[in-house]
Structure 1
Amino acid sequence: MAEPNPNLTVVLHACLGVGHLIPMVELAKLVLSRVLSITIAVPTPPASTADFFDTSASAVAAITAANQAVSFHHLPASDYPVPYPDPFLQMLDALRLTIPALAAFLRSLPSVTALVLDLFCVDALDAAESAGVPAYFYYTSYAGAPPPPHYFAVTDGGASFKDMGKEPLRFPGVPPIPASDMPHTVLDREDRTCAERIRHYARIPEARGVPVNTYEWLEARAVRALRDGVCVPGHPTPLVYPIGSLIVKGQEAAEKEARHACLAWLDAQPARSVVFLCFGSLGTVLTAQPRRRLAGWGAPATGSCGSCGARPRTQASSSSRAPSRIWTACCQRAFLDRTRDRGMVVKMWAP
């Protein structure tokens, strides 16, 4: 492969959180293979949210060390005198405060061909405009997931989704979705978080295009709905680029010496017999939910196999209580006894 051209740069702007940074790194690897110089602008989290978003200096340093072909530029952190009740809203404000630094960084580079934004970084469109750089949004999920087919679904007026119960919502390119199954951040129109999400959706069509982490043949209907503009009637539709599936391939070299026990367990199970249940790093459920759902899932009568991943709350964090409750429910002796020999609980990150 030819050497990257240092005078032709693509800048990727990641959101707070290692879970957002890693997909950006995978996209950077793909773009780098097209002979471009890549820089990822990484916002530094405010001290009050560093644990919640799991973007410690050591985590970012490890990702940087493992991807030396990619440059990383750290944007300054901003903190607030009054703690926010919602770390998500604080994250959005923190990202907004990085816009001047991001714009200055873009203007300092000799030639920037594109700025690729995490979906939560919509206000960075202003930095791209001030620097005269075309902007794109990278959507790391599949095309049929909110928000791409639903940019304006929550802006059409009417009742809040939380008041509609199980009434099916019909969006272009995807099967009907019960209103109560929509993401909790868009359920209540009166909630500030929902208002912020609506504002985000409204700005996405300002971008030149939306790369989506999917295959066109896998989600032909959803991709076609996006491209045909039926999701954003009355507005110009950004170009849609199915570029997936971009995933981290295998374990890092440092982990290869000790193969995770869950992989050996999976190898021993019959084909197509395992259900993988993962709550993610910021999963939030009610206290009773994990006990009730997992108790039914682990009942001996089901005769099914399962693997469950849940991350315990760290001692320094007060905002990760829900994952802590999930972890506790997963690890109750009664549940472990019912799933012995047929199920496996992974108490921390799975490979």
Structure 2
Amino acid sequence: MKETIVLYPSPLRGHIVSMLELGRLLGKHHPRFSIIIILSSASTAAPVTNSSSITVLHLSSTAAPAAAELDQTPFDLARHNTSNLRLALAAIASTADLRALIIDGFSDAAFPVAAALGVPTYYYFTSGAAALAVFLHLPTLHGSTTKSFKDLGDETLNIPGLPPIKASDMPWGMHDRSWRMYGYLLDACRNMISSSGIIVNTCESLESRIIRVIKEGLCVPDRPTPPIFAVGPLVESKVDGDEGGGDTTERRHECLSWLDSQPSRSVVFLCFGSQGRFSAAQLKEMASGLERSGVRFLWVVRPPPQDASAKSTSGSNDGDDTSIEKFMPEGFLERTRERGMVVKSWAPQIQVLSHQSVGGFVTHCGWNSIIEAVHAGVPMVAWPLYAEQKVNRAFLVEDAALALPLSMSDEDRSVSADELAKQVTELMEGSGEGKVVRERVLAAREGMVEALSDGGSSQVSLAAVAALWKRG
């Protein structure tokens, strides 16, 4: 029977894309394995693979519970699909030599299913080692206090391997221990610690100190830490999409043609992922900051939520048919048309970052965006919005010096026009801290390329985990 590895991502596009890249990597370097990726029937905007080494299976459709019953957490769809997953895994195991199941944090409900079938389970951590340190240390933090992180406010948390983190900067789903989301996250962290291993979308050179601290067991002081395999970074190989997804066409995006006409490394790119929405007031403030900076810019703008009181992010598509011009200061587009371009909702992020005209990136600190920027050698300005992005910002700014920070409101993550203009200008002029960041990013890019090359640390890590499956 063929040695088989099954991958089961949560039905979030970024997780599916990253897991698919892992499957492609395994198929390329370890073709002895048959790779099956199982997708939930709820998976939307799932990328299509034409890789002959990967088989895609879709779970049988099951009527989903009401949204109110689920509280709309990312964990619930996987929890709802456990019976279908059990049947699918049993069917695979009956005809193939099933060596391992690889899941991500949000598909954690698969862990007990695999355990009941006797299948070794590995977690694929789609973010970096900095965020992984937080997840592995959460059970320890949970046991050290009865308070929620939201009630600790600015109190400093000491997480091994990381700069001091304010309790309020912890990933959003961890803020209140009475939330269902918190319970799911805590269960996922405990299961991750009990798993056969953790595969991380990073490389040794990018996060060497944090990876070393994790491997030494400092994040999990009361139990053995599972084997850690840094096999990345895995950047989407089909470069027609960004982290947030979006409609794509065979036609070259107009923003790339515009970039062709700009001087080398002169354009700052602003893009904030699929959930990066700002209030109308914040959009005007950002426009004013870009205008004051005098810097060339390419800005991807999503219309704000229909609720004008919304402060920052929303996953809603409400307002997508609205003209962007109405949210800009009067005359802004005309006054900046010689040096700026505003794109509605989506741009091909990987292609943009790889363009020779792009010299800076204002980012929400999503991990996919970070590794895409470093892979392209583009320095960043960090504007975290949601999820684990404040943790990523701490790594980027304080640990790795790959980005400049923005002073922002703790309440609503808002940034003033003057602050945006100041940091964008410093980054693009390449003086002071901007020069340091630019040099550090170029060095990080070299380390990343080396890690991914033949004999590099990421390939060695991939071979190490594959060797465990061969012995299984």
- Aligned equivalent of 2:61: 77
Give the aligned residue type for 2:257.
A
CA distance in 2, matches of 1:141, 1:263: 28
Partner deviation per Cα, 1:86-140 (whole Å, 9 max, x = no partner)? 6632x42221132232223222222111111022111211121122111111112
Which one-letter code corresponds to 2:194 in the other structure? E
Offset of residue 330 of structure 1: 5.9
Deviation string 1:234-274 (CA, Å, 9 cap, x unpaired) is 02211111111111235359978532222233444455544
CA distance in structure 2 between the partners assigned to 1:184 and 1:124 by the alignment: 23
| TM-score, normalised via structure 1 length | 0.80
Q: Compared with structure 1, are the counterparts of its residues 173 and 97 closer, same or farther at alpha carbon in structure 2 (3 Å cutoff)?
A: same
Tell me which residue corresponds to 1:301: 292
Q: Tell me if the contact between 1:290 and 1:329 (Cα under 8 Å) persists in the aligned partners.
A: no
**Where do 5+ consecutive residues of structure 2 fail to align?**
242-246, 307-312, 349-472
1:264 to 249, 252, 257: 257
Residue 210 in structure 1 maps to residue 163 in structure 2: no
Query: Is the 1:307–1:344 Cα contact (8 Å) retained in structure 2?
Result: yes
Give the aligned residue type for 1:117: I
TM-fit CA distance, 1:226: 1.4
8 Å contact kept, 1:211–1:243: yes
Q: CA deviation at 1:30?
A: 0.5
* Equivalent residue number for residue 3 of structure 1: none
Matched, 1:279 2:272: yes
Q: CA deviation at 1:208?
A: 1.0
3-state SS of 1:84 partner: helix
1:105 aligns with 2:88: yes
Q: 2:412 is matched with which residue?
A: none
Aligned to 2:233: 245
Out of 37, 46, 49, the position equivalent to 1:40 is: 37
Aligned with 1:138 (options 124, 127, 135): 124
C-alpha spacing 1:196/1:292, structure 2 compared with 1 (3 Å): farther
Q: Contact (CA 8 Å) 2:40, 2:59: kept in 1 or not? A: yes
* 2:277–2:303 contact (8 Å) kept in structure 1: no
**What is the CA deviation profile of residues 256-307 of structure 1, one whole-angstrom value per residue up to 9, with x for unaligned ones?**
853222223344445554443333223466x367336524532x22233433
2:208 to 220, 223, 231: 220
SS in 2 for 1:120: helix
Residue matched to 1:186: 174
Say whether the 8 Å CA contact 2:274–2:315 is kept in structure 1: no
TM-score (normalised: structure 2): 0.61
Q: CA-to-partner distance for each residue in 1:205-256, whole Å, 9 max, x for gaps?
A: 1111111111101110111121111111102211111111111235359978
**Alignment match of 1:151 (pick from 107, 129, 136):** 136
Q: Distance in 2 between matches of 1:173 and 1:306?
A: 35
User: Could you tell me how far apart the structure 1 residues matched to 2:218 and 2:157 are?
Assistant: 15
Partner of 2:416: none
Q: Which has the higher helix share?
A: 2
Amino acid at match of 2:8: H
Q: What is the alpha-carbon distance in structure 2 between the residues aligned to residue 211 and residue 188 of structure 1?
A: 28
Separation of aligned partners in 1, 2:214 and 2:324: 39
CA distance in 1, matches of 2:72, 2:166: 25
2:283 to 282, 291, 298: 291
Contact 2:70 2:76 in 1 (8 A): no
Change beyond 3 A, Cα 1:85–1:281: farther
The residue type paired with residue 19 of structure 1 is: G
Residue 158 (structure 1) shift? 4.4
Cα displacement (A) at 1:81:
5.2
Q: What is aligned with 1:64?
A: 48
The one of 22, 47, 69 equivalent to 2:17 is: 22
CA contact (8 A) 2:277 2:305 kept: no
Which whole-Å CA distance do the structure 2 matches of 1:327 and 1:216 have between them? Answer: 44
Higher relative contact order (CA 8 A, sep 6+): 2
CA distance in 2, matches of 1:313, 1:288: 6
Partner of 1:93: 76
Distance 1:268 1:168 in 2: 47
Contact 2:161/2:210 (CA < 8 Å) preserved in 1? yes
The Cα of 1:326 is off from its aligned counterpart by 9.4
* Residues 1:196 and 2:184 are matched in the alignment: yes
Cα pair distance change 1:255/1:166, threshold 3 Å: same
The SS at the match of 2:338 is coil
Give the corresponding residue for 2:357.
none
The aligned length equals 326
* CA RMSD, 1 decimal: 3.3
